[in-house]
Structure formats: C-alpha cells, structure tokens
C-alpha cells in the first residue's frame, strides 16, 4: 500500500476514481439527474485539471499493488471551499473504492492529511460530511474530529446539509 502525489498526466485516472467512488457512495440516496449534474460539474477533466494545477490544492492516490483504490484532496488558503482561518487545512475528499473499504486505507489517507497539516503548520483540519452518511461521520469521529457547524452542499438541484467537523492539532 502506498500514497502517492497525483501528477497531471494521471488526470484520466483521477477522473475515473473520483466518479466511481462518488457514485458508489451517493447514487443510492440521490436522483440520477442530481448525480449526473454533480459529476459533470465537478469531475470533468477540465475541472479536475484546474483543481490539480491550483498550488493551494493537493491530490494523492492510495494504491495497492500499483492499482489506484482511493484518493485524497486537500485545500489550504483560498482553495478551501468555505472561508476559514489561514492556518487551516481542508480535507475536501477522502474516497476509497467500496471493494477496498475496511482495510485501513481511509486511515492512511487521514494520516497523510495530518502529516501535511503539520508541515504547513496549520492549527486544525476541517471537512464537510453529509449528515446522512453515518459511516463517514463515525470514521471522522474515530479520527478525532468533532462537529462544530453545518453548511449547505448542493448536489445537482438538491440542497443537502453537511456537518462541518474539525480536528485541532
């Protein structure tokens, strides 16, 4: 198992893992139209390339035997999806293929996020997680995150509530 930085020549792999893991996680609880609208807006090659080229965003793959089975996206500064302190790091995405969940891979990506947060000397990590995703909420609680607020997340035309969670460093 290894965690590697995503390079621009890996955009197609990033798009595939992004789309597959998002569909696996949310398709059963959302309409096809809302899912397709979100995928088109957030996981196009153009959008992912723009995010990957942003110096305040960081993408990492987690691989087993050179096969990408999940990924992590982090944001600092202006790249954060919600206004935070300068000394904050956002975990925007941690996704693992369903077939590889339960193997400590999410924990490895979380550890990578903490390592980068410490390198950047931030005060805390934060994230948004859908209030109807108890599995993810439980994972983040086990990692030490606590809920501190809420915000609206737009999935297609559906306005959903995310819990904002924070881990003080």
126-137 mean pLDDT: 95
* pTM, to two decimals: 0.95
Residue with tokens 């909420």: 137
pLDDT tens-digit readout, 91-103? 999 999 999 999 9
pLDDT tens-digit readout, 14-67? 999 999 999 999 999 999 999 999 999 999 999 999 999 999 999 999 999 999
User: For position 85, what pLDDT does the model report?
Assistant: 80
CATH number at residue 111: 3.40.630.30
DSSP assignment of 89-116 equals EEEEEEEE-GGGTTSSHHHHHHHHHHHH
Which of the residues 38, 58, 95, 140 is marked catalytic?
140
Number of separate domains in the chain: 1
User: For position 48, what pLDDT does the model report?
Assistant: 98
Domain with 159, as residue range(s), is 2-168
The answer to whether 71 is a known catalytic residue is no
Q: For residue 100, what are the CA distances in angstroms to 59, 60, 64, 70, 107?
A: 19, 16, 9, 8, 12
């Amino acid at each position: 198992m290894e965690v590697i930085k995503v390079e621009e020549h890996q955009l197609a792999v990033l798009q595939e893992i992004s789309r597959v893991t998002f569909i696996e996680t949310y398709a059963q609880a959302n309409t096809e139209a809302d899912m397709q609208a979100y995928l088109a807006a957030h996981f196009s090659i153009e959008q992912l390339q723009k995010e990957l080229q942003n110096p305040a965003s960081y993408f990492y793959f987690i691989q087993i035997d050179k096969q990408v089975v999940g990924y992590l996206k982090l944001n600092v500064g202006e790249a954060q999806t919600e206004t935070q302190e300068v000394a904050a790091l956002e975990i925007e995405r941690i996704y693992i293929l369903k077939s590889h969940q339960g193997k400590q891979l999410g924990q490895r990506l979380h550890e990578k996020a903490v390592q980068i947060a410490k390198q950047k000397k931030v005060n805390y990590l934060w994230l948004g997680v859908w209030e109807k995703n108890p599995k993810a909420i439980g994972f983040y609680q086990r990692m030490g995150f606590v809920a501190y607020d809420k915000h609206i997340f737009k999935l297609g035309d559906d306005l959903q509530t995310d819990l904002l969670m924070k881990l003080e460093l």
